[in-house]
């Protein structure tokens, strides 16, 4: 395995050799690190552009057990602002990339080719996959090279997503567009009368800043960006600014993904009506939950049903962001334009979920978020990321309690301001799902009673999660999913090991 220093040096060498011919998609180095002030004179008026729906990728071949796909990460352009074409990096040159639709129990193999001039890697976020296909930051695909990822899909129906996870560059690469949906379906979901087909709509929410020429303005990771992550001043949905979706007066299911680098959202309808949440990170909840406000931190997902039958034809309902003002307060709009019959419904029971008994936990581990002011690095338990270091070795088949704290252990802290405790950190575990046990000792809300792979840990808060290590053995990651935090050290490794004498594969 390459050392981190060797990896970065190799990436730089490839960029130098490639030169202008392989292009960072026609953006200068200055623009890569925020080379121009945002400019809004090029923006379309809100709610005038139709919501784009990412296309569903077709397999290149199939056999009895497996669907095979091929994708190329390459430069492209996208019409986002009026009068300009925004350079992007995308899977198949698209932002978001094409959606893969999979079946639980049926394997998917994706051959990813890198046509960019920088090393990349691909992580299936929420996928229970072998370590070799997890997309670790150092498992790079060099320019001009390809790699196959195997996804067994031995997990329930859920809204997953895939994105780049390159060492120290995840923030830039995702900002440029390297992400897409991965949807798993199963028989339990099929049997429910939830909205389906064209009434089941994925929504990837991102925020971006733009230069005067329409290119993305990704800031240098310093100052406010180092502290809070890269936050743009414009909200995009499926890669389009404040789009419009024409809907019938019936129920729709929306799969909302916070694909922003760092920004949290609090979604609400302008009408004040409640939304019905039916799913989270790991798929369906045990029962639906009525919510007027749905808060999602970076990388979290929520599947919600919105019923438009109460609105007269011609009504406009705006999906708002209560954590934003002005431009950042309006996400998209729904225009009720037609009448349609509706045979869908939301049943009172969705998917029974066995609650993990905390008494079965064999140990409790503590992970505390922090900031190394001397070196300008984010830390977990006082340490920045080292790809050679293993931070925990849980035994396969056992359950542990992990306590993730964001200043909660410093409730009596009266010293200088520490940015680690000033905002939330979304904690993500690779290769496994978990259940939230409590928040500061209190039972989690009903919408956190399903399976999770990312949990928001607020300022002065401690969250305990129950993790049953029944996936694969091997080495995986945990990290803050504010991408600029992980790019600056807020990551670690855990290795799932076997009991002595147990050397067989586990899945």
pLDDT, tens digit, 9 for 90 and up, residues 324-352: 999 999 999 999 999 999 999 999 999 99
Would you state the pLDDT for residue 45?
84
Kindly state the average pLDDT of the residues 281-300.
98
Would you state the pLDDT for residue 422?
55
Would you state the pLDDT for residue 236?
97
For the chain, give every domain's residue range.
4-188, 197-338, 358-496
pLDDT in tens, 73-116: 999 999 999 889 999 999 999 999 999 999 999 999 999 999 99
Kindly state the average pLDDT of the residues 393-406.
97
| Correct CATH for 358-496 of 1.10.260.40, 3.30.1490.110, 2.60.40.420, 1.20.210.10 | 2.60.40.420
Would you state the pLDDT for residue 172?
98
pLDDT interval class at 412 (50, 70, 90): very low
- Comparing 460 with 174, which gets the higher pLDDT? 174
DSSP 45: P
Q: What is the mean pLDDT of the chain?
A: 89
Strands 179-185 and 97-103: parallel
Kindly provide the b/e burial profile for residues 81-115, where b requires at least 16 CB atoms within 10 angstroms of the residue's own CB.
beebebbbbbbbbbbbbbbbbbebebbbbbebebe
pLDDT interval class at 178 (50, 70, 90): very high
Lowest mean pLDDT among 63-67, 321-325, 405-409, 422-426: 405-409
Would you state the pLDDT for residue 423?
77
Helix (H) or strand (E) holding 483: helix 483-487
pLDDT in tens, 44-67: 789 999 999 999 999 999 999 999
Lowest mean pLDDT among 27-41, 334-348, 437-451: 27-41
pLDDT in tens, 352-396: 999 999 999 999 999 999 999 999 999 999 999 999 999 999 999
Lowest mean pLDDT among 141-145, 383-387, 419-423: 419-423
* Distance separating alpha carbons of residues 403 and 466, to the nearest angstrom: 9
Its CATH architecture, for the domain 4-188, is Sandwich (2.60)
* Distance separating alpha carbons of residues 258 and 256, to the nearest angstrom: 7
Kindly state the average pLDDT of the residues 11-19.
35
- Comparing 266 with 415, which gets the higher pLDDT? 266
- Comparing 452 with 2, which gets the higher pLDDT? 452
pLDDT interval class at 315 (50, 70, 90): very high
pLDDT interval class at 41 (50, 70, 90): low
Q: Tell me whether domains 4-188 and 197-338 share a fold.
A: yes
Would you state the pLDDT for residue 369?
95
pLDDT cut 70: percent of the chain above it: 87
Which positions ≥6 away from 218 have C-beta within 8 Å? 31, 32, 33, 34, 171, 172, 175, 176, 209, 230
| Correct CATH for 197-338 of 2.60.40.420, 3.20.10.10, 3.90.1150.10, 3.30.70.20 | 2.60.40.420
Instruction: Give phi and psi for 65, each to the nearest 5.
Output: -115, -15
pLDDT in tens, 201-232: 999 999 999 999 999 999 999 999 999 999 99
Q: Give Cα separations from 490 to 52, 227, 386, 408, 480 (angstroms).
A: 34, 12, 10, 18, 6
């Amino acid at each position: 395995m390459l050392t981190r220093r060797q990896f970065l040096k190799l990436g730089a060498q490839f960029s130098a050799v490639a030169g202008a011919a392989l292009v960072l998609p026609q953006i200068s180095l200055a623009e890569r690190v925020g080379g121009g002030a945002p400019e809004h004179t090029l923006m379309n008026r809100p709610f005038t552009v139709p919501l784009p729906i990412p296309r569903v990728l077709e397999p290149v071949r199939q056999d009895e057990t497996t669907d095979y796909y091929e994708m190329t990460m390459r430069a492209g352009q996208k019409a986002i602002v009026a009068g300009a074409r925004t350079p992007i990096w995308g899977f198949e040159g698209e932002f978001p990339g094409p959606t893969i639709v999979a079946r639980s129990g049926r394997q998917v193999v994706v051959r990813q080719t890198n046509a960019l001039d920088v090393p990349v890697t691909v992580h299936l976020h929420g996928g229970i996959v072998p370590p070799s296909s997890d997309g670790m930051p150092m498992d790079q695909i060099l320019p001009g090279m390809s790699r196959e990822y195997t996804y067994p899909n031995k997990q329930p129906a859920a809204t997953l997503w895939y994105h780049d996870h390159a060492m120290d560059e995840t923030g830039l690469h995702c900002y440029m567009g390297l992400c897409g949906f991965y949807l798993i379906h199963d028989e339990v979901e099929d049997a429910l009368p939830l909205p389906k087909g064209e009434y089941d709509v994925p929504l990837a929410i991102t925020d971006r800043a733009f230069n005067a020429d329409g290119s993305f303005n990704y800031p240098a990771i310093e100052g406010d960006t180092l502290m809070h992550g890269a936050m743009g001043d414009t909200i995009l949905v499926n890669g389009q600014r404040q789009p419009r979706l024409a809907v019938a007066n019936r129920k729709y299911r929306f799969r909302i993904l916070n694909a922003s680098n760092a920004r949290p959202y609090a979604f609400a309808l302008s009408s004040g009506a409640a939304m019905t949440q039916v799913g989270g990170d790991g798929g369906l909840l045990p029962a639906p939950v009525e919510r007027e406000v749905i808060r999602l931190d970076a990388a979290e997902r929520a599947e919600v049903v919105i019923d438009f039958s109460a609105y007269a034809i011609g009504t406009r309902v705006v999906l708002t962001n209560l954590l934003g003002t002005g431009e950042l307060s309006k996400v998209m709009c729904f225009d009720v334009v037609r009448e349609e019959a509706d045979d869908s419904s939301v049943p009172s029971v969705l998917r029974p979920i066995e609650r993990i008994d905390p008494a079965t936990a064999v140990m409790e581990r503590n992970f505390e978020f922090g900031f190394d002011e001397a070196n300008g690095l984010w830390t977990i338990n006082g340490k920045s990321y080292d790809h050679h270091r293993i931070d925990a070795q849980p035994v396969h088949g056992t359950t542990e309690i992990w306590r993730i704290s964001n200043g909660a252990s410093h409730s009596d802290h009266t010293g200088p301001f520490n940015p680690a405790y000033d905002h939330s950190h979304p904690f993500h575990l690779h290769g496994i799902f978990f259940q939230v046990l409590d928040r500061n000792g209190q039972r989690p809300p009903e919408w956190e009673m399903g399976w999770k792979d990312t949990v928001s840990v607020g300022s002065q808060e401690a969250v305990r999660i129950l993790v049953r290590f029944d996936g694969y053995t091997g080495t995986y990651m945990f990290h803050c999913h504010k991408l600029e935090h992980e790019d600056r050290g807020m990551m670690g490794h855990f290795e799932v090991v076997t009991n002595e004498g147990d050397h067989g594969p586990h899945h």
